[in-house]
Amino acid sequence: MLECKGLDAVIVATPDKFHAAAVKMAAAAGKDILCEKPLAINLAEGNELLDAIRRAGVRLQVGFMRRYDPAYAVAMKRIEAGEIGVPVIFKAVGRDKDGPPLSAYQSNVNGMLFYTNSIHDFDLARWLMRDEVCEVHAYTTSAIRPEVVEFGDVVASVVNLKFSEGAIGNVESYAQAVYGYDVRTEIIGSKGSILVGSLHRIPTTLLAAQGSTQPITDYFLTAFADAYVAEMQDFVECILNDRVPRVSGEDGLKALAIAVAAENSNLRRKATKVSLETSAVAP
């Protein structure tokens, strides 16, 4: 494929384990690349990948499509305009409707929950707070599905965040909420708060597989259809107009570093510093 004449760019949407190798191969062939998240599943591969991009002199965009979602885009503009003041707290909920089949864990081709789910919110945390995450403390559970522990994964996690400028945050991820696909984000600042994806305010809300008192999206492609289209359009325009991608390889590496720190925190049962060094790779 890479030898085809007239091929300018490629999209890497393989399982997570193969992202780094595919990107390095495409870069060596001189192609610009849009790579789905995560950039890699460890920092050693992530750093090698970016080195390959620099040596080849090609462009790399990372698939954090939520930055292109209309609601998140509006929220960012309001934050940049100072409407909520200085960001103080970041809160995110990310719940998938259906848990992966056991075969998905057995295949060992994707990263754990921090890399497949939480990493979207790790990227949003950096972007919306306009600051870097410097420390995390992860708490996880697989109590309702203990068989996934054998494959080094978890069903749900809560990751507390500490930012370089003093702000704090919290990211909740859940692989099998059953009632629907539920993504919400709030940024609380010194002058106010902005919410994306909040439920309607009523006294009591029930969300259940048998039926909910509020309508809710059932699938990520439904929720973020516009964002995926806008992301792809922007990537194509980058190539056609010879400009730098809005979501860079460095963005991908920094979000990956947060996921690695969260995995280390879970393994060590303590708060862990976020580092771009390969020594931060989980054992």
Query: What tokens were used for 145?
Result: 């599905």
Strand partners, 32: 9
What's the rounded Cα separation, in Å, for the pair 116 and 126?
Answer: 17
Rg (the chain; Cα; Å) = 19
Let me know: does 21 contact 39? Beta carbons within 8 Å. Answer: no
Is residue 187 located within the same domain as residue 135? yes
Is residue 177 located within the same domain as residue 188? yes
| Mean pLDDT to the nearest integer, 270-279 | 88
Is residue 157 located within the same domain as residue 263? yes
Domain annotation covers residue 112: yes
Predicted structure pTM score: 0.88
Looking at the chain, the whole-number percentage of residues with pLDDT higher than 90 is: 81
Least confident of 17-31, 99-113, 125-139: 99-113
Q: Please identify which residue in the block is written with the tokens 């809560």.
A: 158
Phi-psi region of 85 (alpha: psi -120 to 50; beta: other; left: phi over 0): left
Is residue 114 located within the same domain as residue 43? no
pLDDT of residue 133: 98
Query: Cβ-count burial of 145 within 10 angstroms (0-12 exposed, 13-18 middle, 19+ buried)?
Result: middle
pLDDT of residue 202: 45
Total tally of structural domains belonging to the chain: 2
Who contacts 163 (Cβ-Cβ below 8 Å, separation ≥6)? 90, 125, 129, 131, 132, 133, 134, 169
Who contacts 74 (Cβ-Cβ below 8 Å, separation ≥6)? none
Label residue 179 by pLDDT band (50, 70, 90). Answer: confident
CATH number for 261: 3.30.360.10
Q: Please identify which residue in the block is written with the tokens 């920092």.
A: 43
Q: Which of 43, 1, 61 has the alpha carbon at shortest distance from 25?
A: 1
Is residue 94 located within the same domain as residue 169? yes
pLDDT of 249 > 90? The answer is yes
Write out pLDDT tens, residues 42-79.
999 999 999 999 999 999 999 999 999 999 999 999 99
CATH number for 17: 3.40.50.720
Question: Mean of the per-residue pLDDT values for the chain?
Answer: 91
pLDDT of residue 197: 82
**Angstrom distances, CA of residue 213 to CA of 175, 182, 209, 234:** 22, 14, 11, 37
Question: In which domain, by residue range, is 25 found?
Answer: 9-65+228-247
Instruction: Give the distance between the most distant pair of CA atoms in the chain.
Output: 61
pLDDT of residue 151: 94
